[in-house]
Structure 1
């Protein structure tokens, strides 16, 4: 008998379609609910729906490979397409003062939230994810950072829950406070863009002040989003140093972050028509919703509840920090 005949057979490739069918159905449900409830994004609905399905419904074992594939692959594709929302020209148009203010507020919020998490005794993974979501762009940023740090699935779900709770609160409170303080439309727009977490929440917070406030708010918000790539790269470098030669070392710059930067460069050329950009935005939402649903199915509620109180206090403190830093920098530098 030859050596070839003694070799072990190649294991069959995992069957993906059962999990992908479930993911596709969940994306549709998330989009419908988000359309009915304007204050909630499809990404938030998707992760909550995943948690419910994962803890209430007995999913077949055959769904596991497809859900895991969606969680990783759709996530990276969605982050890449997120870059098509940004153009370098938009950032330059803000002026050097506003750009400096955004750099300061993202840095202070990220480092300050990580430090607060350490003081509160929160896990390192939770602190890093809350810091990323609150300083950059909510669930999308959390999903991107998820690929380079050591964390539990419950940390990701809890972080997105905090983005939803405190982002929604800011969305409702900011217009009322801004009107009471007599802020101008551009001032309210800058504060909304600098302190509110999700893009949809930013738009809702600035809308009562009119179209001018919304325009300023969205551009300031996107200037925070563009810092996602360097932030992920710096954290990845720190993780490589922390794990040392014996641990699993994350890449210096993950390929999906390279794709994100490439997408920003393509958008900045101005060659893509609006219909393509609008379509890419919709596809981005679909991809990230599918990824976060897959993530949600792996979360166990009992473990999630154990981190709840600390996470809530951390989210509250981080909200105060990002809002105070935004007000201080936008009024002195912008």
Structure 2
């Protein structure tokens, strides 16, 4: 008697005339797609390191779009799709959750109630005004919601978080992230220039940068430029920005409720919760950072991992956008992005000027 153990294998039926043959069904592997996305992220991060001011997120998206449209054979595309799908969803959400490690409750308390009110006003009024502009321009609800939240809270991470609870198209998220990067990068030199023309002190200019600019990395770049004229500007700018980041979880929870009522909530998951798991992870990371137990090296490492995961995810998102899809973007999202940038910057300026008593 043979002592071989029986191994159950999924079977698929194939009919050959009168005879039915059972063949094993191979499960798709995520490894090839993840490796390609990781390679794209390495290139994007390297480009950002070599060229100051370059966003790895935008480079990763562009690389992904290029790869998607170079005419890869269908079998290769099918081989990569599982891994790219995992990167564009799961890794992206892990990256958003890790963003919470950069935020401590004590930092928000140290801001004072006035600055906290300004940050909250920028987020709430920024989203409301952007949604109104988008409706007037004729931009679809999901697209204008992604732009409104991305431009008012924390850029690509906010857009990705909102995408997790609404039934938006991949093209809409990629478009939003690209616009966030382009317009936010343009603000890096424009905010210091405008601050000089308006006669703002370095401290006020730093607060304005933190309240107005989209991405945390873009705020750091602007704050570093302003830091040359006065100390403490960078820390103030980043702290105000993180106050906006703190509103990510409640905003996404509200968006999830509204999306359910409209029947436009995310459909690719079974009974998705109002507050997604990755947002609970974000709050857990905030709580962990707030304990003061994390070593600065751990915080820095978590920030590096978070940026890397988002870059990998952006490549995967770009790889999911075909040439025929890009043709339908149009001018309206670009016009909305420009309007949202000006609107958020104006609200932020009024807020910081009120704090300084001007």
Asked whether the two chains share a fold, i.e. TM above 0.5, the reply is yes
Structure 2 match to 1:125: 142
Structure 2 match to 1:13: 27
- How far apart are the structure 2 equivalents of 1:242 and 1:250? 15
**SS, match of residue 68 in structure 1:** helix
Question: Is residue 317 from structure 1 mapped to residue 331 from structure 2 by the alignment?
Answer: no
Tell me the CA shift for residue 209 of structure 1. 2.1
Contact 2:153 2:244 in 1 (8 A): yes
> Which of residues 173, 180, 183 in structure 2 aligns to 1:163?
180
Tell me the CA shift for residue 126 of structure 1. 1.2
Cα deviation code 1:60-111 (max 9, x no counterpart) = 1211111111111101111111110000000001000000111111001111
Q: 256-265 vs 38-47, which deviates more?
A: 38-47
Tell me the CA shift for residue 206 of structure 1. 2.4
Structure 2 match to 1:328: 350
- How far apart are the structure 1 equivalents of 2:178 and 2:211? 20
Contact 1:239 1:250 in 2 (8 A): no
Structure 2 match to 1:291: 313
Structure 1 match to 2:17: none
**SS, match of residue 14 in structure 1:** coil
Question: Is residue 62 from structure 1 mapped to residue 79 from structure 2 by the alignment?
Answer: yes
Q: Mapping of 1:22-33 within 5 angstroms?
A: 22-33=36-47
Tell me the CA shift for residue 308 of structure 1. 3.4
- How far apart are the structure 2 equivalents of 1:213 and 1:265? 26
Q: Could you list the runs of 4 or more consecutive aligned residues of structure 1 that deviate by over 6 angstroms after TM superposition?
A: none
Which sections of structure 1, spanning at least 5 residues, go unmatched?
Answer: none
Structure 2 match to 1:51: 65
> Which of residues 131, 152, 174 in structure 1 aligns to 2:169?
152
Contact 1:190 1:217 in 2 (8 A): yes
- Normalising by structure 2, we get a TM-score of 0.87
Contact 1:189 1:206 in 2 (8 A): yes
Tell me the CA shift for residue 304 of structure 1. 2.4
Q: 8-17 vs 264-273, which deviates more?
A: 8-17
- How far apart are the structure 2 equivalents of 1:145 and 1:287? 17
Contact 2:99 2:303 in 1 (8 A): yes
Return closer, same or farther for 1:274/1:129 CA change in 2, 3 Å cut-off: same
Structure 2 match to 1:241: 261
Structure 1 match to 2:243: 223
Which sections of structure 2, spanning at least 5 residues, go unmatched?
Answer: 1-7, 13-23
- Normalising by structure 1, we get a TM-score of 0.93
Q: 203-212 vs 221-230, which deviates more?
A: 203-212
- How far apart are the structure 2 equivalents of 1:329 and 1:63? 48
> Which of residues 36, 39, 46 in structure 1 aligns to 2:50?
36
Contact 2:223 2:233 in 1 (8 A): yes
Q: How many residues align?
A: 328
> Which of residues 113, 117, 133 in structure 2 aligns to 1:96?
113
Q: 223-232 vs 13-22, which deviates more?
A: 13-22
- How far apart are the structure 1 equivalents of 2:289 and 2:250? 18
Contact 1:171 1:201 in 2 (8 A): yes
Structure 2 match to 1:279: 301
- Whose helix proportion is higher, 1 or 2? 1
Structure 1 match to 2:5: none
- How far apart are the structure 1 equivalents of 2:33 and 2:71? 14
- How far apart are the structure 2 equivalents of 1:288 and 1:144? 12
- How far apart are the structure 2 equivalents of 1:69 and 1:204? 31
